Amino acid sequence: MQTLFLYLSAFKGMGGIEKFNRAFMKALHEEIVTLEGNAEVLSCYDDLADPAYIPHSQFSGYGGNRSLFTLHALIKAEKADLIILGHINLAIVGLLIKLLFPSKKVFLIAHGIEVWTIHSYIKKALITRVDKILAVSEFTANKILEGNPYINEEKISVFYNTLDPFFLPPLDFVKPVYLKNRYGLSDKSKVILTVARLVNTEQYKGYDKVIQVMPQVLQAVPEAVYLLCGKYDSEEKARIGKLIHDNKLDGKVIMPGFIANEELIDHYLLADVFVMPSKKEGFGIVFIEAMACGAEVIAGNQDGSTEALLHGKLGRLIDPDNEFEIQLALINSLYFNNTNKRSLQQEVLLHFGFAAYKRRLRQILKNKTINKESISSMRN
């Protein structure tokens, strides 16, 4: 089997889609080898790839040269048995492949909001022609069908996200002293953590609501500190800064900015509870990362977050629009946190570890689909 994976970016950022692409190309390479096939990977925006994820011999990066990327994608597609598109924004490439080589199998990966309602003619033309849509959650699959009723439901399979293959879950759950010192925390401090991109266009993640309930949380748990981590734009930093000031939370809400990958696990270990009451999350890799580090998690009940938490089996689900629910969940988690960290870690690895992810990909490559019925059995 000759397989071609076309994607936008994987090594120039630490967002959820970049993490997905890195894990996907490594899993694809390893599974194709077991099937005695070959996989090639082309990136529109990456210049280079980390050989730990994909050998240099199987990777081509075009550094933003979209014309050259498209040309080479078409050349490679002619010899491929299966073409996998990593994002709907590659619609023009996928559509050209389908028009030039109608018999080629083309799969599309659907992450979240970008496919909920499609207005572009080119994107509509592609999504009606692809052979399979791999949605990262059942929630995303349902939103695709709701917003695009012309799509055949049989085309959609659920293909959950995973932990990065090099994400090493901790063997113990001790809070790192160097981070306690960095943030001025005492042994009595109770840390609330969010890790997200803090940009003005993604306010649906709900961290502003956490800030708004912090005064009430502090009345019940004076030792609480909210660590709001992630790269921010100037507009969002100003908005959040005003919220902090207006609620008199200076020193109680800390914004350290971007967290380097080598410190990410330590930040999860620092947390007594991880919270992100999002409303438009396609899945939410940060949830499974936090739980793999033993952190209790609070998430919204209106999006793909529910599946990352196995519909409440692994963490607390709350109404993200209900500030009192957020407040109560935080206080309960900080007061009565009796999470069995090792058991939680094992459950996350069982369902969302890289080995489970590769098994699901193997089924897809063998033309077996993962349907909603089999996925829903994970709730039990």
- What are 279-308's pLDDT values in tens digits? 989 999 999 999 999 999 999 999 999 999
Predicted TM-score (pTM) of the model is 0.91
The answer to whether residue 20 is domain-embedded is yes
Structural domain including 287 reads 177-351
- What are 218-251's pLDDT values in tens digits? 999 999 999 999 999 999 999 999 999 999 999 9
The answer to whether residue 168 is domain-embedded is no
Q: Are 129 and 239 in the same domain?
A: no
The answer to whether residue 339 is domain-embedded is yes
Q: Are 121 and 210 in the same domain?
A: no
Confidence at 201, pLDDT banded by 50, 70, 90: confident
- What are 306-346's pLDDT values in tens digits? 999 999 999 999 999 999 999 999 999 998 888 899 999 99
Q: Are 182 and 199 in the same domain?
A: yes
Q: Are 122 and 192 in the same domain?
A: no
Q: What is the mean pLDDT of residues 266-289?
A: 96
d(CA 73, CA 60): 10
The answer to whether residue 167 is domain-embedded is no
- Chain-centroid distance, C-alpha 262: 18
- What are 125-174's pLDDT values in tens digits? 999 999 999 999 999 999 999 999 999 999 999 999 999 999 999 999 99
Q: Are 237 and 155 in the same domain?
A: no
The answer to whether residue 117 is domain-embedded is yes
Q: What is the mean pLDDT of residues 110-129?
A: 92
Question: Is a pLDDT exceeding 80 seen at residue 82?
Answer: yes
The answer to whether residue 186 is domain-embedded is yes
Q: Are 372 and 274 in the same domain?
A: no
Q: Are 331 and 220 in the same domain?
A: yes
Q: Are 193 and 207 in the same domain?
A: yes
The answer to whether residue 243 is domain-embedded is yes
**What crossing angle do the helices spanning 121-129 and 91-100 adopt, rounded to 10°?**
50
pLDDT value at residue 15: 84
pLDDT value at residue 298: 98
- What are 355-379's pLDDT values in tens digits? 999 999 998 888 644 444 444 444 4
Q: Are 102 and 11 in the same domain?
A: yes
Amino acid at 81: D
CATH number assigned to the domain comprising residue 38: 3.40.50.2000
Query: How many structural domains are present in the chain?
Result: 2
Q: Are 14 and 128 in the same domain?
A: yes
d(CA 212, CA 323): 8
pLDDT value at residue 371: 47
The answer to whether residue 338 is domain-embedded is yes
Q: Are 192 and 316 in the same domain?
A: yes
Q: Are 139 and 235 in the same domain?
A: no
Other CB atoms closer than 10 Å to residue 121's CB: what's the count? 10
Mean pLDDT of the chain: 93
Q: Which two tokens stand for residue 68?
A: 């050259």
